[in-house]
Amino acid sequence: MRLFAFYSLSAVVLLSALGVVLLKNTLRSALLLGLCLAGVAGIYGSLGADYLFASQILVYVSGIAVLVLFVVLLAGRASELRLRQVNDQWLAALFICAVTFWGMRRYVIEAGAALPAGSPQPATAPIGRLMLGDYALPFEVVSLILIAAVVGAVVFSKSRRGKA
Amino acid sequence: MLENVHWIPLLPLIASLVILLGSRDNTDKSRLPLLGVATMGWCLLQSLWIVGQFLLGNVEAPFYRSIEWFRFGGMGTSVGVMIDGTAAFMLVVVTLVSFLVQVYSLGYMHGDPRFKRYFAYLSFFTASMLGLVVTSSLLVLFACWELVGLSSYLLIGFWFEKEAPAYAGKKAFITTKLGDLGFFVGLLLLFAYTGTFDLTLLPAHFHMGLNHIPAWLPTAVGLLLLCGAAGKSAQVPLFIWLPDAMEGPTPVSALIHAATMVAAGVYLVARTYFIYDAAPLAMEAVAWLGLLTALLAATMALVAYDIKRVLAFSTVSQLGFMMLGLGVGGYTSGLFHLTTHGFFKALLFLCAGSVIHSVHTNDMRQMGGLSKKMPETFITMMIGTLAIAGFPFLSGWCSKEAILHDVYRHSPLMWGAALGTAALTSFYMFRLVFLTFLGSSRDDQRWERACESPGVMTIPLWILALLSIVSGLLLEYNEAFAKVVRYGTETARAGMEGTHAGAQAPAAWLAWAAFGVFAAGLAGAWRLYGTGDMRLAEALKRAFRPIFDALEERYGFDRFFLALVRASDALARALHWFDDHIIDAVFVDGWGLATRSLAELQRFFDDFFVDGAVDAVGAITHDAGGVLSRLMRGQLQEYLLFAALAISLFATFIMAR
Amino acid sequence: MSLAHYLTLSAALFLIGLFGALTRRNIIGILMGIELMFNAANINLAAFNRYLHPKGVIGDALVIFVIGVAAAEIVVGLALVLAIYHARDTVYAEDINLLKG
């Protein structure tokens, strides 16, 4: 049962990822990105990471994917939807991917023998305790990063001709 | 006042500077020359006083004072004065003749545009000569020797606008310089082996018994110093300048070329007599040189028709006599003749000057019969001629007798030749007087205008004439001269004691022989020239034409020296060519060329290789940069690609190990 | 179902994302590829947390951080894209070559 769930979720993730990177239509790419991210949330769920499942949906799917969608809509033209999207260096990129894959192979196989030990626990409370305890500093730093990103985005979004 | 003897040369020097610089007016309106005359008068009185001291026997040893001049390490030299009897008499001769000549010149040079400068030169000359006489250091003597030569040059060429005096001045300077070369080498040798120039210290080195000087040294030094003496005293072969030196004013000839400068050579030999005493060979050379000179000069005087030339040759001949005297050991007799000759030769020259001043010509062929027009000059000249020819009891006779006596004792052969010379002397001197004063005039215009010279010129003549008569006997009285002027060893004996009472038989016979030649010369001259009828003289001249020409040519000595000058000139030119074209071309220019070629090579190397390498590095960098920059197209994807490639490769290699 | 499954999955997702980042012409496409890579890494972290340290939640916490940073980054990136679009009227990477040397 679990295996079936895993494989189907994996299929969703991988296929939609392929769609993201190969489709000509940018809009469809963006939508498929949302699907992929949702699939990844499911993977988290299969792993038993309940908090991650939730935050992935909240942040990535409904935040980032939507954002990407907005930008795609704002920054594109209809005429471009039929243009080829893969550039000339796809062969070199394939080669790089092959090389990287060959490098990762060993680790994947070596580490793969481990089996799950015990059943997954609810993680929310422990994560909360961690955030406000040992990892308080990284937590604050990430908030800082987020603020900086927001400010930066606001600054960038201002166009010269007037308010964006 | 022997303490102040160093002022005797110094005062005339100061006077000459004052005269030269004291006023711009060169003409005879200037009063400064009188300063020179007055100074010389003072020096004369001082010298007479000094001689007086010596004659009275108040001075036992030579008066000597010196101070140190300079010192190099262990060697040094001093400068000072050394007055012995010889020096004292020489002082008198020089100051007396100089004084009389200066007085005479006041008249003779009247009207000359450079009147004042002439007197400056005269004082300067006298100062140098007096310095030469009194000094105790041979080095200072040499310095004064050169100064005297310089003064001579200035005075001979006094009328340098004319070509002949200028040439004559040069000739004199250069010819004597030739002799001075020998002098200088001799001095160097002397100093090298004895370490001193001082005349009071040197004799000790040369006396037998001290053998720290090599055996050849006295001979070598003696001969070399003789070179210098031969130049200054116009011995053969360096006499050629003296006849030409007559281009200068006649008072100059009287002072310098009769009494003083030419006597410097003889004086040098006398001062360094201890060297010759130790080198018999050198002494013999002195004698033979003197004899040869005396004889040759007398022959050349026979055919000269310029009145001053005759006197010049006569001077050369008499100097030869002096050298002869010194060379045969007659220290006293040689110097005695120097003293008397100073008087009567100066007299003769001044008389000649008087004649020239009157008739404005030197050529005796244009004179004649002047005895009526210039009686004083005639009488005084006659007195001088009698003195030089050897009229008994006159000064010339006394000194010449002394020399002949010493020569006979040394070598009868030389005596014979000397006697012959004396005959010739008598002959040509009387020839001079007869041609000038006797007979009828050969140039009536000149004769008409001729008149006796003014008092300022004739008074010195009378003074000198008086001296020419009495000085001989005066100095022989009580052997005064011989006691004062003598060389104090056994080998050279004063020659004067043999000529008078108590002498051996040869002495009397010698005296008669000398008188005989005097008479013979007089007779010969009278026969040929006395009456003014020249036909016999002309006939003889035609008959002995070749001899006559040789004598006129002065035996070709002039031509020999000119050829020598031309040869050395050619040598100098050849060496110059060699230096220019070979040494300069090869070593200097060649070196420059080699250096330049090497530099060119290096430049090429530098340009091509070194700079090329530098440029290549730059070019490579530039081109590489150009090539590499084309990689950066600004394409984001490419950058990402490269980054990803690099990372994946590194990671793979790390992970795959 | 072992760790290997999850690792394989994340590796594949990562490679796909890499390929996309390198080959997409559209800048937004590049950013999407980068997102995929982030997610692959997150899957890895979560899997390790579950299989190797089941008692702890450190892996999960790390994933939270990564998600935060990724969010910040994509926000900025998209803001940039919009700015570029306003300035140059294009969203294709090959048109933006001011760094061309």
Chain A neighbors of C32, CB-CB under 8 A: 20-21, 29-30, 33, 68
| Angle, in degrees to the nearest 10, between helices B280-302 and B307-327 | 160
Chain C neighbors of B631, CB-CB under 8 A: 101
Q: Choose among C49, B559, B323: nearest CA to A49.
A: C49
CA pair distance B419, B398, nearest whole angstrom? 15
Task: Yes or no: say if B251 and B74 are a contact pair by the CB < 8 Å rule.
Answer: no
Task: Yes or no: say if B260 and B93 are a contact pair by the CB < 8 Å rule.
Answer: yes
Res B494: pLDDT: 40
Task: Yes or no: say if B430 and B525 are a contact pair by the CB < 8 Å rule.
Answer: yes
* Segment among B397-401, B492-496, B556-560 with least mean pLDDT: B492-496
Locus of tokens 């009686």:
B375
Res C36: pLDDT: 96
Q: Choose among B260, B3, B271, B314: nearest CA to B127.
A: B260
C11 and A104: CB-CB below 8 Å?
yes
* Segment among A71-85, A108-122, B213-227, B286-300 with least mean pLDDT: A108-122
Alpha helices by DSSP H, listed for B495-610, are 505-525, 535-543, 545-552, 557-578, 590-605
CATH number of residue C28's parent domain:
1.10.287.3510
B497 band by pLDDT with thresholds 50, 70 and 90: very low
For chain A, domain boundaries: 1-79, 121-164
Chain B neighbors of C25, CB-CB under 8 A: 637
B635 and C93: CB-CB below 8 Å?
yes
C71 to chain B nearest CA, in Å? 21
* Segment among A44-58, A97-111, B48-62, B390-404 with least mean pLDDT: B48-62
With a CB-CB cutoff of 8 Å, which residues 27-86 of chain C face chain A? 28-29, 31-33, 35-36, 39, 42-43, 46-47, 49-52, 54-58, 60-61, 63-65, 67-76, 78-83, 85-86
Q: What is the mean pLDDT of residues B232-258?
A: 85
Is there a domain that residue C62 lies in? yes
Is there a domain that residue C43 lies in? yes
How far, in whole angstroms, is CA B120 from its chain's centroid?
A: 19
Res B499: pLDDT: 38
CA pair distance B16, B635, nearest whole angstrom? 108
- Asked if A100 reaches chain B (Cβ–Cβ under 8 Å), the answer is yes
Task: Yes or no: say if C20 and C30 are a contact pair by the CB < 8 Å rule.
Answer: yes
Residue B496 has pLDDT above 50, yes or no: no
Element of type H or E holding B75: strand B75-83
Torsion of CA C68, C74, C77, C81, to 10 degrees: -150
Buried b (16+ CB within 10 A) or exposed e, B595-616: eeeeeeeeeeeeeeeeeeeeee
CA pair distance B129, B123, nearest whole angstrom? 10
Print the domain residue range for C72.
Answer: 3-93
Kindly state the percentage of chain B with pLDDT values over 70.
Answer: 94
Is there a domain that residue C57 lies in? yes
Query: Which chains does chain A touch, 3 or more C-beta pairs < 8 A?
Result: B, C
First to last CA, chain C: 52
| Segment B223-236, tens digit of pLDDT | 888 888 888 888 88
A153 band by pLDDT with thresholds 50, 70 and 90: confident
C22 and B637: CB-CB below 8 Å?
yes
Q: Which amino acid is at A120?
A: P
CA separation (Å) from A64 to A60, A131, B9, B580? 5, 23, 130, 101
Q: What is the mean pLDDT of residues B303-312?
A: 88
B641 and C22: CB-CB below 8 Å?
yes
CA pair distance B74, B451, nearest whole angstrom? 66
Q: Which amino acid is at B560?
A: F
Residue A115 has pLDDT above 80, yes or no: no
Res B489: pLDDT: 47
| Segment C29-77, tens digit of pLDDT | 999 999 999 999 999 999 988 888 878 888 999 999 999 999 999 999 9
Residue B298 has pLDDT above 60, yes or no: yes
Instruction: Tell which of A99, A102, A104, A109 to mutate to test the B interface (max B CBs under 10 Å).
Output: A99
C71 and A64: CB-CB below 8 Å?
yes
pTM of the model: 0.63
The number of domains in chain C is 1
Q: Give the angle subtended at the CA of B295 by the CAs of B292 and B299, to the nearest 5°.
A: 135
CA pair distance B280, B94, nearest whole angstrom? 30
B640 and C98: CB-CB below 8 Å?
no
Class at the top of the CATH hierarchy for domain A1-79: mainly alpha
With a CB-CB cutoff of 8 Å, which residues 93-132 of chain A face chain C? 93-94, 96-97, 100-101, 104, 107-109, 111-118, 120-121, 123, 126-127, 130-131
Which token pair is B340?
């008397």
DSSP B84-103: -HHHHHHHHHHHHHHHHHHH
- Asked if C93 reaches chain B (Cβ–Cβ under 8 Å), the answer is yes
